[in-house]
Amino acid sequence: MRLGIVGLPNVGKSTLFNAITKAGAEAANYPFCTIEPNTGVVIVPDERLKVLHEIYNSKKTVYTAIEFYDIAGLVKGASKGQGLGNKFLGHIREAAAIVHVVRCFDDSNVVHVDGSINPLSDIETINTELILADMETLERRLQRTAKSAKSDKSLQGELELLNKINDVLAEGLSARTIAYEISEEEDIFLKSLDLLSYKPIIYAANISEDDAASEGDNEYVKQVRAFAEKEGSEVIVVCAKIEAEISELEDEEKTAFLEELGINESGLDKLIKTSYKLLDLISFLTAGEPEVRAWTIRRGAKAPEAAGKIHTDFQKGFIRAETIAYDKLIECKGNLAQAKEKGLVRSEGKEYVVKDGDVIHFLFNV
């Protein structure tokens, strides 16, 4: 899973990236200090793996991971190549989802590229550039499809959908605003177009340390939440400065530090949970003495697709999946023989939809 972190210059984007990935990307108080996308890999915490590791005394524990891209700051005119626009737009295409860091704090020592703090204006600046780039992409596709549809009536539905999206973009709205009103088949088609404004987005409202314990009172955050609700997007509230401090602490110190500040969970934890929700992802597990491991799949995936995450041969030669819910396995203290006696281990076929926390052993033959 790859997430691209974007935002106007000097909103705390690279500071947040440094904090959550500990990758050490340069963070400076001037525009465009990030030119190439810095990449950091973050392990997804999963207490279930720790428990399974102890039960099986496994030699190896493998967590699933998220890749974060810290993408260069953007300014007005990026869709026409202003600033680092072409690179910015190109790097966004590589991401599964966008994390848009929005400045929701006042600080006279940190300059704002537009001269004043206005979260909605910042959001509009980036969204507008994505929309303009999409309109250019769509114009070419519309011309080709309209021409082909004259002789191929089966393309009429596709043409209507393209025109519908084009009308939405022309109103200054992101393509994602209509995601809730289209069919699954239309959703797959739109994703194939690789429209930037159709990518799922999380708005990360970056607040000051003083507001961290009472984030709900921040007026800037309220504005971002109201906008995201209309668009059907997600919002998390973070303090990049605090995240930077947290990143230097051990786990026990981290918990105590957050409690002292009156914060329930770190920004990274919020971001991971929200990313999984936004992209509709779950994890299934494999466990044994050689290795315990988490595997990320889309919600609704069937057993052969999940098997393919481990190896393509598992999917090609899929026979069945011996499955037990994590909680049930723990009840039996990892004893599969006991679990089978109690009827807790199920033999599932090709149509089984994998659930979050399923512990699975795949049988296959190639």
HEC-encoded secondary structure of 136-148:
HHHHHHHHHHHHH
Q: Which of 274, 150, 117 is closest to 203 using CA atoms?
A: 274
Mean pLDDT, to the nearest integer, of 168-179? 91
Cα angle 275, 214, 110 (rounded to 5 degrees) comes to 80
Structure tokens, 92: 């966004």
Mean pLDDT, to the nearest integer, of 201-223? 88
Q: Which of 200, 204, 202 is closest to 179 using CA atoms?
A: 200
Cα angle 199, 200, 205 (rounded to 5 degrees) comes to 120
For residue 104, name the pLDDT band (cuts at 50, 70, 90).
very high
Beta strands in the chain (DSSP E): 2-6, 38-43, 61-62, 65-70, 97-103, 201-206, 234-238, 281-286, 292-298, 318-325, 346-348, 358-364
Task: Flag whether the pTM goes above 0.75.
Answer: yes
Q: Which phi and psi (to 5°) does residue 273 adopt? A: -60, -45
State yes or no: pLDDT of 114 exceeds 70. no
Q: Residue 195's pLDDT is what?
A: 92
Q: How far apart are CA 185 and CA 174, in angstroms?
A: 19
Task: Please indicate whether residue 110 or residue 181 has the higher confidence score (pLDDT).
Answer: 181
Segment holding 287, helix H or strand E: none
Average model confidence (pLDDT) for the chain?
Answer: 86
State yes or no: pLDDT of 15 exceeds 60. yes
